[in-house]
Structure 1
Amino acid sequence: MMISILGANSFIGNNLFSFFSSHEIIKVSLRQTDWSSQIKYSEILINLIGKAHDHQNLATEQEFFYVNVSLTKDIFNEFINSEAKLLIHVSSLAALEEFESIKPLDEEEKCNPNSWYGKSKLEAELWLMNQNIPPHKKIIILRPPMIHGVGDKGNLGLLYKLISKGIPYPLSSFKNKRSFLSIDNFNFFIEKIVQNYESLDSGIYHVADDESLSTNELISVIKKVENKSIINLAFPKFVIKGIAIIGDYIPIPLNSIRLKKMTSDLEVSNQKIKTALGIDKLPLTAEAGLIKTIKSFKNK
């Protein structure tokens, strides 16, 4: 089977490329002028192209919408004109919700994106779902929460650096539950979709680990992997929030967005995709996936 991965040089793309080594994989970069000809004869297209969160506030609204919306339209049009039967478009949970939820979110929830990133991801989803899709073609839109794994350069790495240096975790006064997705479980979902897409309906599906984890649980895993006995500090919440506001204006490790992502509840239901694919249990538990990621930081 020939599979084209658009955005294959990303963290997710590199892992997915290695995972699908038994297939004929084409790594596609939209920076190449002939990218459309490269995907023409692929059976499956996996779109990982996207501009992610900009915690330093350097990107413009136009940049987010160009990469996340305009390029998605270009990819869809080439998909329609190609021989491909399936387009897997990797969106983001941010298209639905970015900060908090009172219960695990399913695909029927009302969308409430906050940032240019989330809004542009939602606009791309809405545009795709409003297109006329030929009967012999399908579009699967995936909404993952934070994906982590080998090569991850996101907020989880920052947390690891803090704890591995023996610095006490200062946010233990916050109690929360959040959904994550290990790269191994992400690859598993993609593999199952590739194998069973003919029986799937086009549409939006949430992908996440089976269990949620609190930030305090993340800290415990890091300390266990690092074999460190570090106390957690429970500073008053108003003090931490004040420091985060300062971080919105000067470059320190904590700012308001990172604080929300580390301390608020944001859980996702993966039941729709599991039911559709006949999945009972994912290969890795949330904790096992996290341990694997933390060990990759340690080895690096």
Structure 2
Amino acid sequence: MQIVIFGSSGFVGKNLINSHKDFDLILPSLRNSDWANGLNDANVFVNCIGKAHDHKGTASEKDYYFANYELVKVLFEEFLKSSAQLFIHISSIAAVEENERNEVLTENSVGNPQSHYGKSKKAAEEYLLKQTLPSGKKLFVLRPSMIHGEGDKGNLTLLYKIISKGIPYPLGAFQNSRTFISVDNVVFLIKEIIKKHKEMESGIYHITDDESLSTQKIIEIIGTAKGKKPLILSPPKFLINVLAKFGDMISLPINSKRLKKMTSNLIVSNQKIKTALNIDSLPITAEEGMKKTIESFNNYK
């Protein structure tokens, strides 16, 4: 089986390559003018290309829409011209919600993207779902919650650095619960879709761990990995909110966006994908996956 992986140098792409070594992999680079050569006989297209992190704050709206929307159209048109039967597109739960929702998010939840990232991901989904699929071809749009694993460069690394340095965690007054997904579970689900797609319906599927985790639970996991008990402080919430506002204006470890990510509730259901794949649970629990990620940070000083 020939599998084309777009975005093979990225976080998810690298993990897919490592887990699909028994397949015939094609890893095109869109920087090359002849990137589409040799794709016609492929069986599966997996699109992992996407722009998410902007730690330097230099990305424009155009940058997000190019990577997360315009390129998707190009790749899907190539898929339609090829003999491939399956197109898997990695979207994001940010296409539905990025901050907080007082309900469990399902595939039928009304979208409320706020950032260029979320809006560009939503635009790509809408484009894909409007396309007519020829007989024998299927499309799967996967919406992962926050993906983590070895090599993670998101908010988890910031939290890890704070706790590792012995800096007290100042957000103890906030109690939250969020669903994440380990990159190992992402890879597992993609492999299962490739094996079972003929029995599945095209469409959108949320992918997330089976259980949720609180930020304080993640801090406990970090403490265990570092062999020290973290110090958790609980100053009034209004003081933290004021500090975050200052962080929006000047460079501070905490700002409004990070505060929401670390303290708000965002629960995503993965029941649709498990039902479609006829599985009861994912191979790695939320806590096991988070422990593996945190322990991998110890290797990067």
Task: Settle same-fold status: TM greater than 0.5.
Answer: yes
Matched ranges for 1:53-92 at <5 A = 53-92=53-92
- 2:227 is aligned with 1:224: no
Structure 1 position 103, deviation (Å): 2.1
1:7–1:38: structure 2 CA closer, same or farther, 3 Å change rule? farther
Structure 1 position 39, deviation (Å): 2.5
Deviations 1:273-292 (A, max 9, x none): 00000111111110000000
The amino acid that maps onto 2:227 is N
The aligned counterpart of 1:296 is: 296
Structure 1 position 38, deviation (Å): 3.9
Asked if the contact 2:53/2:154 (under 8 Å) is kept, the reply is no
Structure 1 position 51, deviation (Å): 1.2
The amino acid that maps onto 1:7 is G
Structure 1 position 53, deviation (Å): 3.9
User: Any stretches of 5+ residues in structure 2 without a counterpart?
Assistant: none
Asked if the contact 2:219/2:230 (under 8 Å) is kept, the reply is no
User: What is the rounded CA distance, in whole Å, between the counterparts of 2:252 and 2:31 in structure 1?
Assistant: 33
User: What is the rounded CA distance, in whole Å, between the counterparts of 1:96 and 1:53 in structure 2?
Assistant: 18
The aligned counterpart of 1:96 is: 96
User: What is the rounded CA distance, in whole Å, between the counterparts of 2:55 and 2:96 in structure 1?
Assistant: 19
Matched ranges for 1:157-168 at <5 A = 157-168=157-168
Structure 1 position 148, deviation (Å): 0.4
The aligned counterpart of 1:187 is: 187
Deviations 1:211-231 (A, max 9, x none): 000101110111111111222
The amino acid that maps onto 1:138 is K
Matched ranges for 1:268-287 at <5 A = 268-287=268-287
RMSD: 1.0
User: What is the rounded CA distance, in whole Å, between the counterparts of 1:20 and 1:193 in structure 2?
Assistant: 13
Q: Once superposed, which parts of structure 1, at least 4 consecutive aligned residues long, lie more than 3 Å away?
A: none
Asked if the contact 1:39/1:45 (under 8 Å) is kept, the reply is no
Asked if the contact 2:207/2:270 (under 8 Å) is kept, the reply is yes
Alignment: residue pair count: 300
The aligned counterpart of 1:210 is: 210
Does the residue aligned with 2:45 lie in a helix, a strand or coil?
A: strand
Structure 1 position 41, deviation (Å): 1.9
User: Any stretches of 5+ residues in structure 1 without a counterpart?
Assistant: none
User: What is the rounded CA distance, in whole Å, between the counterparts of 1:189 and 1:24 in structure 2?
Assistant: 19
Deviations 1:215-268 (A, max 9, x none): 011101111111112220111111111111111122221111111011000010
Asked if the contact 1:48/1:89 (under 8 Å) is kept, the reply is yes
The aligned counterpart of 2:255 is: 255
